[in-house]
Chains A and B, each alone.
Chain A
Amino acid sequence: MSLWVDKYRPRSLDDLHYHAGLSARLRSLAASGDFPHMLFYGPSGAGKKTRITCTLRQLFGPGAEKLKIDQRVFMTPTKRKLDVNIVQSNFHIEITPSDVGIYDRVVIQEILKEIAQTQQVDLNARQRFKVVIINEADSLSRDAQAALRRTMEKYMSNMRIILCANSTSKLIAPIKSRCLLMRVAAPNTAEMQTCLQYVAKREKFDLPPEAAEEIIQDANGNLRKALLVLEALKMQSPDLTGPLAIAKPDWETYCNKVADMIVQEQTPSRVMEVRAKFYELLSHCIPPTVILKTVAERVVERVDESLKADVMHWAAIYEVRMRVGSKKIFHLEAWVVKIMSLYKQFVFGFSMDDFEA
């Protein structure tokens, strides 16, 4: 039995529940035979991937759903071997080049040239071109993006590229100007309500609107999360009535604890305790940015109004330092110390003018 998220994932453009305008556009583009390169962007859980698979189905028919997973070996110029997993059907190929880190350029070049130089041999195929889907396009390195530029123009007759990204900020302008931008916004409350009710109906149980409302509040625009939570809750209490306890992930409760610790006491020994907690979180592979953002958000809830802006300001500053630097824990800690000193100064009523950056 598969998860509800996958079980009730819309398969065709007609089944999509929201962004009807976008679906209509995709449908007409797929029908016109003049399909451009595309860039789907939007927050996670908004349905980018679903829309891409639906578009593929619209383009190529059900054949596009017969997927096989391939493991390919690439060779870097320095004779290093890279293993990459590739999902492909007869009509498209899907890669996540950021898996291989700084060597993504090699993978992009190899795969695209290979696809671009072979024509569709199947005479019954609906389209003459193949589609390359590049996931997490915003984490592609500059080199890899530069490698895409000319290829996208040159081999337009044999191939189309669909990029999938969270934001367009990290894509270079030449790529953006070659693609048709498709913004997939997160669904609003009413739209999420419809989706949850639809799933409930298909699973043949009654979902009280209040419960759905609560789930939606918690999911914050992420439909995938909402559906997962719904399924988990259904397991816990089959009738879904009464007060719901939406289980927070462990790391989130842990982050809450850290925020409490910061606000309660501002001493060097407390910094050490916080540090231990941070290490724990990091060793469980929670991305440092997520840790910083979550803790900052909790701290903001607990401090005085006049401090809120500063907390976020320093969070932003230390977050970017964390990206540029190499040792994440240093910057997390520096931020904690900064916040503690700000808080203490505020409590003891010092002037803060000297500390404005």
Chain B
Amino acid sequence: MFLKPQTTKAAPKHTVDPANQPWVEKYRPKTIDDVSAQEHIVAVLQKTLTSSNLPHMLFYGPPGTGKTSTILALSRQLFGPDNFRNRVLELNASDERGIAIVRDKIKNFARQTPRAQTVASDGKVYPCPPYKIIILDEADSMTQDAQSALRRIMETHARITRFCLVCNYVTRIIEPLASRCSKFRFKPLDTSSTSLRLQHISSTEQIPVSLPVIDTLISVSGGDLRRAITYLQSASRLSSSTSPPTEITSQDIHEIAGVIPNPVINSFAKVLGVDIIDDSGMDVDDGGRAKGFDAVRGKVKELMREGYSASQLLSQLHDLIVPHPTLSARQKSQCAMVIAEADKALCDGADEELWVLEVALKVHKFLA
């Protein structure tokens, strides 16, 4: 289980039909040169390919920026397909990673001296340096105990084993571990490289994707390339499954991403007194206010019945209020405060309807 082959190396008996593979896996960079937009890190790692020396590494950055892809590509380039299996141990959060595993599996693997280099079967020459790599993916979900158990192991076996920790939040890695590694920060992908990558995929897959759709994908995914690719694949599935195949529209992307359509948000905002300057419907005298409570509650109930997710609703409402041209700075900050509070509450597992209602009532009050 632990020395698992990577997806590209599925056993010949049952090859994975590439059409059914997620594009995220299919278009994972094969070499570190293919990694999008992380020039600095790629330049550093290129050196290690020639010098056969590698420090312990800690990759961190937001999701979908290529952390796992980079280390997988690097180890593949270092060891080649034949040695990959016995030189690389990849553990992620779907594997058991308690302290017991650190003590047994990782320690045992770290202890083994790597076998002598064999000739690669595909005729290429791989550097195959005399160490093994242990990849701990999603390391921020390891327990504190498990992390501290790693400390000594990392040092004693440093001669024959390199560790690569991959995580989203570097603050969740305990300090002693972080100080043993050289840190690489992966930055969110910029628009141009995301767009290039998406265009490359769409041309390889031969699906027509217009530029506005790519822009929508980028804005919805917010620098997360994996998300953008997954959405693109889902959209192409949907569009090709209808007959005759229809072209992908920005609306499809919004639908797939679970984004609430703009008209819905606008009408919600209108009930709260935002956006549309509508003095007749939103009188601020006592009678209008009384009507306000029931109107607001009715609207919230309606939205909840439609099944929209509260966090998405709040974030879109926030996006609408903050750049709003006519609201005062004070009103905006008051709204932002209450939205922040609601977000915290939702994270704690609070009831969605109550908190959307709470936000709606507060915003309504501030803007009255």
Contact = CB atoms under 8 A, between A and B. Distances in A.
Contacts of B358: 312-313, 316
B124 interface: no
Contacts of A143: 93, 141
Interface stretch (B29-37, B195-203, B305-313): B305-313
B19 A34 contact: yes
A320 interface: yes
B355 A109 contact: no
Contacts of A100: none
Contacts of A33: 20
A253 interface: no
A177 B230 contact: yes
Interface string B293-329: 1000100010011111111100000000000000000
B47 to A, nearest CB: 29
Contacts of B352: 167, 169
B289 A305 contact: yes
Interface of B: 1, 7, 10, 14, 16-17, 19-22, 24-25, 63-64, 92-96, 98, 100, 137-138, 141, 221, 224, 226-227, 230-231, 233-234, 237-238, 240-243, 256-258, 286, 289-290, 293, 297, 301, 304-312, 345-346, 348-355, 357-358, 361-362, 365
Nearest to A315: B354
B20 A156 contact: yes
A170 B305 contact: no
Given A43-B305, A156-B22, A157-B16, A323 B238 contact: no
Contact of B258 (A77, A183, A315): A183
Interface of A: 24-25, 28-29, 31-34, 36, 41-43, 46, 77, 109, 112-113, 119, 128, 142-143, 146-151, 153-154, 156-157, 167-170, 173-174, 176-178, 180-181, 183-186, 220-221, 289, 293, 296, 305-306, 308-309, 312-313, 315-316, 319-320, 323-324
A296 B297 CA distance: 13
Contacts of A112: 94
Contact of A169 (B64, B346, B357): B346
B21 A186 contact: no
A146 B141 contact: yes
Given A174-B63, A312-B357, 7 more contacts: A36-B237, A146-B93, A177-B63, A177-B230, A181-B257, A309-B365, A319-B350
A151 B94 contact: yes
A296 B355 CA distance: 13
B96 A149 contact: no
Given A36-B237, A156-B22, A323 B305 contact: no
Contacts of B240: 32
A34 B20 contact: yes
25 contacts: A24-B242, A25-B238, A29-B237, A33-B20, A34-B19, A143-B93, A146-B93, A146-B138, A148-B94, A150-B92, A153-B24, A169-B346, A177-B64, A177-B230, A183-B306, A185-B307, A186-B305, A220-B305, A221-B305, A293-B351, A305-B290, A309-B293, A309-B362, A312-B358, A319-B351
Contacts of A183: 258, 306-308
A150 B258 contact: no
B237 A32 contact: yes
A153 B4 CA distance: 14
Q: Which of B1, B100, B310, B357 has the most CB of A within 10 A?
A: B357
Nearest to A143: B141
A344 to B, nearest CB: 21
A178 B311 contact: no
A323 B350 contact: yes
Nearest to B364: A309
A146 B358 CA distance: 31
Contact of A293 (B98, B224, B354): B354
A168 B305 contact: no
A167 B309 contact: yes
Contacts of A324: 348
A305 B242 contact: no
Nearest to B63: A174
A302 B290 CA distance: 13
Contact of B94 (A142, A149, A178, A220): A149
Q: Which of B63, B92, B141, B305 has the most CB of A within 10 A?
A: B305
Contacts of A128: 20
Contacts of A173: 63, 227
A140 to B, nearest CB: 12
